[in-house]
Amino acid sequence: MELIRPDTRFDFVGKRKITIWISAAVILISLGSIFLRGGLRYGVDFAGGILLQIKFSKTVDISEVRNALEAIGSKDAMVQRFGGENEFLIRVKKTSGDLEEMSKTIQTSLQGQFKDKSLEIRRAEVVGPKVGKDLKRKALWAVGLSFLGILIYVAFRFHEFAYGFGGIVALFHDIIVTYGAISIFNLEYSLSLLAVILTIIGFSINDTIVIFDRVRENIKKMRKEDLETIFNVSINETLGRTILTSGTVMTVVLILFFFGGAVIHDFTTALIVGLITGTYSTVYVASPVVLFWERNVSRTKKRNR
């Protein structure tokens, strides 16, 4: 079976004058949304506070839960429907006082007030503010260092700083856009969304390297052509693979989105955005960056003229 005909010749990188504006606009919207909303909506994991997931065996209205919480004076508590029929999430964003004691008070008094509805506490999280800060800092370090590792490896394997740089720029693009999506969809930034970011880094760099590899191969074959043509040929030659891989992975993620349950709903939403931007960025961010660098910055210009 052939998905893409062998003689396909789309002018991908030629469109970069247009796509650079698309990328810029998307990044602006992403940063703008994050900025306007005053940063990401950090979950209990990072911000500190209390999170309770409760489930009743009988029908309970959300207002009943709210009233019950107000009755014990938890005014900062936010209640939200979650997943199944009578399941709720309660969040208290508070960073001072005895959180543990407060969590206990809320739990016992809810259990008292909904005695006949057989309340089940499915999840209880209490995170002190210090812990959240530590987590944030350590995660940032880990991601930063892995970027550095990627940059060094790619620059080494391609004998050219430009490729490593292009890959990293594409990674930044993808991460900013994904964070933008997290902000626009008002998802709560928690540990599982951090895992999404890590996954997207993996997919994005993988996608970029596949095409760079083909470029490296074609540079040797097509000595007379300029780099732009070589990029175009390479992207076209690997187009079948790009569509197949991205399509397969996207299908899997969509299945997770529809059947995976509420717990991973935010997770899959962010992943879908990340996959799209990860595939896009290889063609329209990483490749143009390399082209730009090789033309304007690198000393090996002569070969490409």
Chain positions 110 to 129 lying near other proteins, rule: CB under 8 A, are: 120-128
Residues between 203 and 222 that touch other proteins (CB under 8 A):
203, 205-206, 209-210, 213-214, 217
3-state DSSP assignment of residue 178: helix
Residues forming a β-bridge with 51: 91, 125
Q: 119: closest CA among 50, 69, 174? A: 69
28 binds other proteins (CB under 8 A): no
Query: Residues 198, 297, 300, 301: which binds other proteins (CB under 8 A)?
Result: 198
Residues between 255 and 284 that touch other proteins (CB under 8 A):
255-256, 259-261, 263-264, 267
249 binds other proteins (CB under 8 A): yes
257 CB-side CA count, 13 A: 13
Query: Residues 39, 248, 301, 303: which binds other proteins (CB under 8 A)?
Result: 248
Q: CA torsion 132→138→139→144, rounded to 10°?
A: 150
Rounded to 5 degrees, what are φ and ψ at 95? -120, 0
- To 5 degrees, how large is the angle CA 154–CA 208–CA 276? 145
94 binds other proteins (CB under 8 A): no
Residues between 137 and 166 that touch other proteins (CB under 8 A):
138-139, 141-143, 145-150, 153-154, 157
Q: Judge contact between 293 and 165, C-beta under 8 A.
A: yes
- CA 63 from chain centre, in angstroms, equals 33
245 binds other proteins (CB under 8 A): yes
The residue among 62 and 252 lying less far from other proteins, judged by its C-beta, is 252
Q: Which DSSP category does 304 fall into?
A: G
Contact segment (CB under 8 A) with other proteins among 65-73, 189-197, 225-233, 281-289 equals 189-197
Contact segment (CB under 8 A) with other proteins among 24-32, 62-70, 250-258, 286-294 equals 250-258
